[in-house]
Structure 1
């Protein structure tokens, strides 16, 4: 790299580095063998638990060790503890996984362990009244929303974090208004139209709101089409926007809507003549219209689809055979 001084390593330095790496590998393999043997022997001791911590810090994707760690907690540690002590262990586990996520934010097994922790928070048997009994759970679940927002602020496109957010929303004892989620996704999308995970989350929230009748579906959809059209014109090469548009069209699919959206995309194509996503979308929607028309109109649409697919063969030669197959199906 420019501006970076090249460091010349001596043969002795390189050999020393090689030996250090070999020593680390030897230790890792020995620790792995030890833990797998302990697992086979049903060793649920505190020593084994501490060893899982060491190994998972080195390799957080070792899902067998995550499973073993949970077995140790359930079978070896929790049975000897009072609810308050179990809750403290759970909190410590949440803290450990949070530290791990800072370095490995997209490792599935860390997120999975965090969910397990939430689902194993004990009730408080000494409390009076249901609210007090569940206070530990309520406070922890509420805190999780702040945690996931912090992680999404660090990486707004982390689909693991978005999935976890939906999990929290579906299970929390203090649900937040779904319209608040729409506002949240709007802020993320306006910051970056390319945020596919935010678009996907938005589709899930709207589906729930429309099914429950909490929002005027027709008005919402018109507002959404305006938002998506703005995104299309802002960045017509962004796949996320086109995928969301297909979902939105699919919630209605009437001939009137399809024709309207086709006209809007054709206007954009006049400005972006070689835009693959414009052309693919036109093919997709015109093929949907084929099932709604017949006679001359059907022949016209088929011919237009063929022309568009032939353009795609030139623009996207890697998928040439796929487009040829689609032409044969017309």
Structure 2
């Protein structure tokens, strides 16, 4: 009737959505085939870089495209000067942040970010640590981010004390955090090692499912620090007696299991 807004039926809406998906799929497949064709022909130009970016923006878990993208970037390193390479890799880091927004646990995105950071002529490690802080504040059990953070800490030489304080903050805000407790266990032997005169003892790190190899050597934490750890974990019990992460850590402490793989 006149004066009334025409409302589409459910069937019509579904049909339009279907056509839109088919249209996007055709564009995606065309771009994918173009990438594969370029790679087969050994083409490593900036157009290929744009094509892979277009595809990975919507699907950051396409491992083959990350591999091709690294081949393109390595080629560009040979034809660009250092300042140009710096700009290319800085743009790559910005692109990777957008990929991580699509999927914060994308293995391909985190692996590629580690690769880029290691090749960056002038890396900004403070920025990378800040990124890890933001990601872990959203999901403190994102093990991809934890792995990347360990790489950044190693490459940039972040003091062990600073990282231990970082675990203090995370555990203080959420006792139910297996990753923070475990990371803490790897830092304590470095910052508070047991004296050489003390009797050594071997054990597994907490939450580890793999037995130590015969070649593995261990260092334990000093008695004074162990007592402080007991107090810390007991505070976690009082906060949430039913949470398993603190109990795992406590059981490990009771076994005097403060060890470090070397």
Pairwise same-fold verdict (TM > 0.5) = yes
1:117 pairs with 2:99: no
Query: Which residue does the alignment assign to 2:141?
Result: 157
Note the aligned Cα RMSD (angstroms).
2.4
Question: Distance between the aligned counterparts of 2:255 and 2:67, measured in 1?
Answer: 40
SS at match of 1:13: helix
Deviation at 1:61, TM superposition (A): 0.3
Is the contact made by 1:152 and 1:161 (CA closer than 8 Å) also made in structure 2? yes
Equivalent residue runs for 1:219-298 within 5 Å: 219-252=224-257
1:169 pairs with 2:178: no
Deviation at 1:78, TM superposition (A): 1.8
Aligned match of 2:188 in 181, 206, 212?
206
Is the contact made by 2:56 and 2:99 (CA closer than 8 Å) also made in structure 1? no
SS at match of 1:157: coil
Query: Which residue does the alignment assign to 1:148?
Result: 132
Question: Distance between the aligned counterparts of 1:223 and 1:9, measured in 2?
Answer: 66
Deviates more, 1:21-30 or 1:112-121: 21-30
For 1:243-283, what per-residue CA distance to the aligned partner results, in whole angstroms no more than 9, with x for missing partners?
A: 22233334349xxxxxxxxxxxxxxxxxxxxxxxxxxxxxx
Deviation at 1:193, TM superposition (A): 0.9
User: Which structure has the higher relative contact order (CA within 8 Å, separation 6+)?
Assistant: 2
C-alpha spacing 1:250/1:29, structure 2 compared with 1 (3 Å): farther
Question: Distance between the aligned counterparts of 1:145 and 1:98, measured in 2?
Answer: 13
| Superposition TM-score, scaled by structure 2 size | 0.79
Deviates more, 1:56-65 or 1:16-25: 16-25
Equivalent residue runs for 1:8-23 within 5 Å: 9-23=9-23
Is the contact made by 1:189 and 1:199 (CA closer than 8 Å) also made in structure 2? yes
Deviation at 1:171, TM superposition (A): 1.0
Structure 1 stretches lacking a partner, 5+ long: 1-6, 123-135, 254-330
| Superposition TM-score, scaled by structure 1 size | 0.64
Deviation at 1:45, TM superposition (A): 1.6
Question: Distance between the aligned counterparts of 1:93 and 1:250, measured in 2?
Answer: 46
Structure 2 stretches lacking a partner, 5+ long: 1-6, 196-219
Q: Which has the larger radius of gyration?
A: 1
Is the contact made by 1:231 and 1:241 (CA closer than 8 Å) also made in structure 2? yes
Residues paired across the two proteins, number: 229
Aligned match of 2:222 in 208, 214, 217?
217
SS at match of 1:237: coil
Question: Distance between the aligned counterparts of 1:243 and 1:38, measured in 2?
Answer: 52
SS at match of 2:105: coil
Query: Which residue does the alignment assign to 1:100?
Result: 99
